[in-house]
């Protein structure tokens, strides 16, 4: 989208990031500005995403959220590309609703078997999978493989 700038946020941006994540019902745990990339339009943060380092060292793509009025314009995709570029060829995991699988595939993510998930991520995923199943939703784990 024209006019959007993608930057690393400052600590003072965390309340705005939190508000965006709450609107999107995203993950607001353990927010650190250094983990995020934000989309800014006209001086206003309109979207965000982060790479979280999990216990054991695994990386998770998390908290990708765009304000409702800016969705469908490629902003989330740009945030994801920027975050993945930052971590290079390291494996990255994510958890999402099953219907989002096709959104993440172009970034190199594939469905990951539960038994292959790293500790720290696996426990979180199992909890969310059960929680969403109780609400009639299907949660999946995905992994972006290391490039050879």
Res 148 pLDDT > 80 = no
pTM score? 0.90
pLDDT number for residue 120: 81
Query: Which CATH number goes with the domain that contains 117?
Result: 3.40.630.30
At residue 111, φ and ψ (nearest 5 deg) are -60, 135
Q: List Cα–Cα distances, 34 to 3, 13, 93, 105, in angstroms.
A: 23, 11, 18, 26
Query: Which residues are bridge partners to 109 per DSSP?
Result: 144
pLDDT in tens, 79-108: 999 999 999 989 999 999 888 999 999 999
The whole domain housing 61 covers: 5-144
Question: How many structural domains are present in the chain?
Answer: 1
CA dist 31 and 27 (Å) reads 9
Task: Report whether pLDDT(124) > 90.
Answer: no
Q: What is the bridge-based pairing of β-strands 92-97 and 139-144?
A: antiparallel
């Amino acid at each position: 989208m024209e006019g959007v700038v993608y930057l690393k946020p400052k600590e003072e941006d965390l309340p705005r990031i939190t508000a965006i994540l709450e609107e999107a019902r995203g993950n607001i745990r353990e927010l650190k500005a250094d983990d995020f990339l934000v989309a800014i339009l006209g001086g206003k943060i309109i979207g965000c995403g982060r790479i979280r380092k999990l216990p054991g060292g695994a990386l998770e793509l998390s908290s990708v959220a765009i304000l409702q009025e800016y969705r469908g314009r490629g902003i989330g995709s740009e945030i994801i590309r920027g975050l993945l570029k930052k971590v290079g060829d390291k494996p990255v995991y994510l958890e999402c609703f099953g219907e989002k699988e096709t959104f993440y595939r172009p970034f190199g993510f594939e469905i990951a078997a539960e038994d292959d998930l790293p500790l720290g991520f696996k426990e979180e995923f199992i909890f969310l999978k059960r929680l969403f199943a109780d609400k009639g939703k299907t949660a999946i784990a995905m992994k972006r493989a290391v490039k050879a």
